Amino acid sequence: MHISTKVAGKRGIRDITAACRRVLVDGIKMISKNIIRALKTSYGLTDEQKEFQKVAFDFAANEMAPHMAEWDQKEIFPVETMRRAAQLGFGGIYVRPEVGGSGLSRLDTSIIFEALSTGCVSTTAYISIHKYDIILKINCKKSFSPAACSGSDAASLLTSAQRKGDHYILNGSKAFISGGGDTDVYVVMCRTGGKGPKGISCLVVEKGTPGLSFGKKEKKVGWNSQPTRAVIFEDCPVPVTNRLGDEGQGFNIAMKGLNGGRINIASCSLGAAHASVLLAKDHLLVRKQFGEALANNQFLQFKLAEMATRLVASRLLVREAATALQENRADAVSLCSMAKLFVTDECFNICNQALQMHGGYGYLKDYAVQQFMRDIRVHQILEGSLICELTSFFLPQEPMR
């Protein structure tokens, strides 16, 4: 960068100031160009993964992003869009092809959900929760498309299932079930045996079973494109043939699913943070205050660079965890937990800071950054205590209904 070296004097100082300003202005262009380059999500991916990612980004930009505000404000459950996503193969990404999935790896899945999340976090999170995989040999003779899962605080769960002949009678309730009331099948962790994790079994309950009812639709801060209701069981009879695995295997089934779920939720957070950083950068380049673009402000430049750094660090952790899980490595479980813990927190902070950079505009619902922040706030809460991962089960004819 050429900087004037005229000796000090009024004119000299003006030249130097002008030159510095040129550096700063070009500096912004450099930073924004570098940030775009640094944040490119396709580094280190295979050609095939780049293709998957491209389809996911296109789908997110064309089919989801234009509607995400409306889905949020009107609390619309976008069934048609999710169906189209499933048709492209986004429904059961790492489910085996023999049972209708796409048979891809955990890393492929993470990349795809990260890209989809830039279009709508809530809908992508829903798609990621309701995917299927076979873990255990299923006793169940019928084939379902389970679309919701009930989760709870593992070992202390209270929903009871008493064996009566060839049925279990279920009593209890589960709070905060995503999709509750709108989906056709519920996979329930319940206590069939004694205290502790060994007494838990996993049952599949179909909508319409007598004794199965739902609480009111909850009003949430975010995740508004998915309905959330309590699921209530009152002497609800469930055939023994609807049990997944053996009695007492419920906890294991749940735990096995947890790792994948954590990666998926973390991936959704990544997408939101990625979108938010780009929105913040665009805003800084455009918004003028104090006589010049906000992007000229050194503090904001540093802040943006820091946000980008944390985003890339988060992305690397998630992708490593996905690879470890795929390869069944010894550190897979701890990496998945660390990824969920670290990434959901960091990405929320990034979205929050991106909102801050928008100033007052960030607080308006006209701007997408507030929705990203609201939607991923819940990622710091669930999948840690909620065992929503039990969906790593099952085997539908089609991935989504």
Give the footprint of other proteins on this chain (CB under 8 A). Answer: 33, 37, 47-48, 50-52, 54-55, 58-59, 61, 87-90, 93, 97, 102, 104, 112
Residue 214 CB, shortest distance to other proteins, in Å, is 33
Closest to other proteins by CB, 87 vs 385, is: 87
Residue 51 CB, shortest distance to other proteins, in Å, is 5
Does 383 qualify as catalytic in the annotation? yes
Q: What is the residue-wise DSSP string for 56-117?
A: HHHHIIIIIGGGHHHHHHHT---HHHHHHHHHTT-SSTTS-GGGT-----HHHHHHHHHHHH
Q: How far apart are CA 212 and CA 184, in angstroms?
A: 12
Residue 32 CB, shortest distance to other proteins, in Å, is 10
Closest to other proteins by CB, 175 vs 285, is: 285
Closest to other proteins by CB, 97 vs 196, is: 97
* Residue in the block written with tokens 């829903």: 126
Closest to other proteins by CB, 54 vs 164, is: 54
| Catalytic residue, candidates 63, 114, 346, 383 | 383
Could you tell me the CA-to-CA distances from 185 to 81, 122, 394 in Å, in that order?
20, 20, 11
Residue 26 CB, shortest distance to other proteins, in Å, is 11
Closest to other proteins by CB, 47 vs 366, is: 47
Residue 102 CB, shortest distance to other proteins, in Å, is 5
Q: What is the residue-wise DSSP string for 194-260?
A: SSSGGGEEEEEEETT-TTEEE-PPPP-SS-TTS-EEEEEEEEEEEEGGGEESSTT-HHHHHHHHHHH
The identity of residue 67, as a single letter, is H
Parallel/antiparallel/unpaired status of strands 228-239 and 167-178: antiparallel
Catalytic residues: 383
